[in-house]
Amino acid sequence: MSDNKRVTDEEALLLHSSGRPGKLEITPTKPLTTQRDLALAYSPGVAVPCLRIAEDPSLAYDYTAKGNLVAIISNGTAVLGLGDLGALAGKPVMEGKAVLFKRFADVDGIDLEVDTRDVDEFVNCVRFLGPTFGGINLEDIKAPDCFIIEERLRELLDIPVFHDDQHGTAIIAAAGLINACDITGRNLKDIKMVVNGAGAAGIACAELFCTVGVSRENITLCDTKGVVYRGRTDGMNQWKSAFATDTDRRTLVEAVAGADVFVGLSAKGAMTQEMVKSMAPKPIIFALANPDPEITPEEVKAVRGDAIVATGRSDYPNQVNNVLGFPYLFRGALDVRATTINETMKVAAAKAIAALAREDVPDEVDAAYSGRRLRYGPEYIIPVPFDPRLIVTIPAAVAQAAMESGVARKPIVDLSAYRHTLRTRLDPTADSLELILEKVRTNPRRVVFAEGEEERTIRAAMSFRSAGYGTPVLIGREEVIKEQLAAMGQPNVTFEIHNARLSDANRRYSDHLYRRLQRKGALLRDCQRMVNQDRNVFAACMVAQGDAHAMVTGLTRSFGVAFEEVRRVIDAKASEPVFGLHLFITRNRTVFIADTTVHVRPDGATLADIAVGAAAKARQMGHEPRVALLSFSNFGQTPHPNTDPIREALAILDSRRVDFEYDGEMSADVALDYQLMKRVYPFSRLNGPANVLIMPGLHSANISAKLLSKMASGQMIGPLLIGLDKPAQIVSMGSSVNDIVTAAALAAHDSLPW
């Protein structure tokens, strides 16, 4: 089950090394193009905020990035499950943590690797850097040093200091425990619990469990030497001693017998099926060791069908994933300028996560995980990581708890307005795209990679399969593909390969093509030649005849040529235009651009149809569409025959009474700058900046998309081919492996039943 989710060493190294090495860069947030810009941002203008901050240090939050900046700090003594790798080797993890902060909560993270194993040196290093940041996330520091470091820094600094390996895991596990006890009819204060693993995460989980209501005397803590009991001296420290109990049980096997709950933060295989059998009815088992749990859900279910199981793995239900916690916890803490993250805030986060799992799941989330039923119950006690409600629910709960517990220096007056701000802080495209990809993972598809002999295609096919999207089918000569694999250092990798010239399906495909083209001047032998010699035609025939679900092509031929070959085989959907759509994604905004590939000079009816199709795709991607029909003119300002189709399209949309906002004709600057729009054209129908741009012709659309992809800061996805009766995507000739994989996955998604 998990093999499909793994990435190869080569893929991981390629991602971290390609382009600009690493995963982070620093981008200015103010214009710095003129001498005046520089004078304001640096000398002499910078002196003014410096003097203000010297008078009132709290103004650093107003004049600098401090209020949204978190330091992710480690000495690399406990890197993931890899052990003491040292500060430098831990840097990729810290950079990754910074990416997660930004991706999920729009928090700016900067990684700092401190090259010392001495606790005093580490504390002194961090304490003197404290004024730079709004919060500090300690990471991958071995126990018991992590306890000492966090405690001392919390005393020395007036900003949140949070060791995520401890508290992040504890918050999510506590949320799951609250719901698991609710489902099984248990009271937290009465449960008998075993926590196996007395490191940072184990101790923190046990402590937070007590805070949410578990009786300390009902928790049995175990480590590699067995039960932590009163009087034990071997391998003890003050944190373990806090959970030492009066018991004659000495082994994990003895401790688990009759227990209601097992929480493992230890190692693969620590829990056995015999131990599961010995637990109380309806046992709750959190096997959280990574990457391999103490016991798998399959092993538990084989002996106890009444168990609730959670792991740290994404390929099983009930994933205890820290990304549900730390980004949102810091978001709430930063927004009220909290001096610390206290127990009240952690409990508030845990309860908010638990409560969210009990709510009705949004359609888009439920659809993505269609292989599972996301309804509150034994298989769904914790929300999934890409639930778009997390960014609103958790920070608001944390901020409110900070205010109620007296650690907020900037209380939020209007929590309703704050929730709205959170809701709009992140662009929904990334979540929506992940939900689309997750839906493909739960419904794997057969996708034809038409240019199967190309190295980028082969790499994309490998990534497509390893991501769990389905079965890649390569079109090409088997010996050439095998040579490519050998040259890539992957001689043992195998694929389903079809040689168009030698395929047993040629006769069937030729007959299908001939039926389509016989009244368009094609002879049977012409169709046979196209099937035998043209990989795009062959791939499209596979899809049209039901031998595959979707196809992707485009690396070796221009879009126009590839499109013509695909269209020989695949029709447009009834009463819908075929058009190309690009998505341009910036930090907190996505703009859809159409038609970028097909219609050179669309008439008004076609423009209206494209607007409807583009709006539907935008809505599928999590956006409420606001459509602008673009021109060089604003609302008849410059009458010209070229603007007639745009006004015609507007009239057609009016007559159809479509269910989205639209207006035109308007220029691009007016469409994207809402303040300008309302100031100069207050009669505009749009209630915000346009996010779907309908171009008047192929020249302007294609040029705009390609200019943005090369010159602007953001991610371009596309072109997406919309409107075909069978799914096919055509990438650009310069596409990366990741571009091809995304296109193939989106084609696979288009093949799913709605």
Establish whether 86 is an annotated binding residue.
yes
Q: Detail the DSSP E strand segments found in 169-326.
A: 193-196, 219-223, 226-227, 261-264, 284-287, 308-311
Bridge partners of residue 207, in order along the sequence: none
- Where exactly does CATH 3.40.50.10950 map onto the chain? 434-568
Q: What are the φ/ψ torsions at residue 751 (nearest 5 degrees)?
A: -85, -10
Question: Using CA atoms, how far apart are residues 204 and 212, in angstroms rounded to an integer?
Answer: 12
- Where exactly does CATH 3.40.50.720 map onto the chain? 167-405
Tokens at residue 90, please?
């831990």
Establish whether 165 is an annotated binding residue.
yes
Query: Which of these ranges, 9-13, 114-118, 125-129, 481-485, has the smallest mean pLDDT?
Result: 9-13
Q: What is the mean pLDDT of residues 407-419?
A: 94
Tokens at residue 511, please?
């007959």
Please report the pLDDT score of residue 6 as a whole number: 59
Query: Is 293:319 a contact under the CB 8 Å cutoff?
Result: no
**Residue showing tokens 């485009």:** 554
Q: What is the mean pLDDT of residues 721-750?
A: 92
Please report the pLDDT score of residue 184 as a whole number: 96
Establish whether 82 is an annotated binding residue.
yes
Query: Is 69:77 a contact under the CB 8 Å cutoff?
Result: no
> Which positions are annotated as active-site residues?
97
Q: Helix, strand or coil for residue 228?
A: coil
Tokens at residue 5, please?
């989710």
Tell me the CATH number of domain 434-568, given options 3.30.870.10, 3.30.1360.20, 3.40.50.10950, 3.40.50.720. 3.40.50.10950
Establish whether 85 is an annotated binding residue.
yes
Q: What is the mean pLDDT of residues 420-435?
A: 78
The conformation of residue 694, written as its DSSP 8-state character, comes to E
Say which CATH architecture domain 41-159 belongs to: 3-Layer(aba) Sandwich (3.40)
Q: What are the φ/ψ torsions at residue 202 (nearest 5 degrees)?
A: -60, -45
Please list, residue by residue across 496-505, b when 16 or more beta carbons sit within 10 angstroms of its beta carbon and e when fewer do: ebbbbeebeb
Query: Is 592:614 a contact under the CB 8 Å cutoff?
Result: yes
User: Residues 571-596: pLDDT tens digits?
Assistant: 999 888 899 999 998 877 889 999 99
Omega into 44 within 30° of 0, i.e. cis? yes
Q: If pLDDT is split at 50, 70 and 90, which confidence band does 313 have?
A: confident
Question: Using CA atoms, how far apart are residues 549 and 440, in angstroms rounded to an integer?
Answer: 12
Q: What is the CATH number of domain 579-723?
A: 3.40.50.10750
Query: Is 239:144 a contact under the CB 8 Å cutoff?
Result: yes
- Where exactly does CATH 3.40.50.10380 map onto the chain? 41-159
Question: Using CA atoms, how far apart are residues 259 and 307, in angstroms rounded to an integer?
Answer: 12
Please list, residue by residue across 510-529, b when 16 or more beta carbons sit within 10 angstroms of its beta carbon and e when fewer do: bebbbebbeeeebeeeebbe
Please report the pLDDT score of residue 10 as a whole number: 80
Rg of the chain over CA atoms, in angstroms? Answer: 29
Establish whether 139 is an annotated binding residue.
yes
Q: If pLDDT is split at 50, 70 and 90, which confidence band does 372 have?
A: low
**For the whole model, what pTM was predicted?**
0.77
Question: Using CA atoms, how far apart are residues 742 and 392, in angstroms rounded to an integer?
Answer: 28
Q: Detail the DSSP E strand segments found in 481-553.
A: 496-498, 550-553
Establish whether 506 is an annotated binding residue.
no
Going by their DSSP bridges, the two strands 590-594 and 692-694 should be labelled as parallel
User: Residues 249-301: pLDDT tens digits?
Assistant: 999 999 999 999 999 999 899 999 999 999 999 999 999 998 789 999 999 99
Tell me the CATH number of domain 167-405, given options 3.40.50.720, 3.30.450.40, 3.30.1330.10, 2.40.50.100. 3.40.50.720
Instruction: Render 61-114 in DSSP notation, one character per residue.
Output: HHHSGGGGEEEEEE-SSSBTTTB---TTTTHHHHHHHHHHHHHHH--EEEEEE-
User: Residues 503-549: pLDDT tens digits?
Assistant: 999 999 999 999 999 999 999 999 999 999 999 999 999 999 999 99
The conformation of residue 134, written as its DSSP 8-state character, comes to S
Instruction: Render 382-415 in DSSP notation, one character per residue.
Output: S--TT-TTHHHHHHHHHHHHHHHTT-BSS--S-H
Q: What is the mean pLDDT of residues 426-448?
A: 84
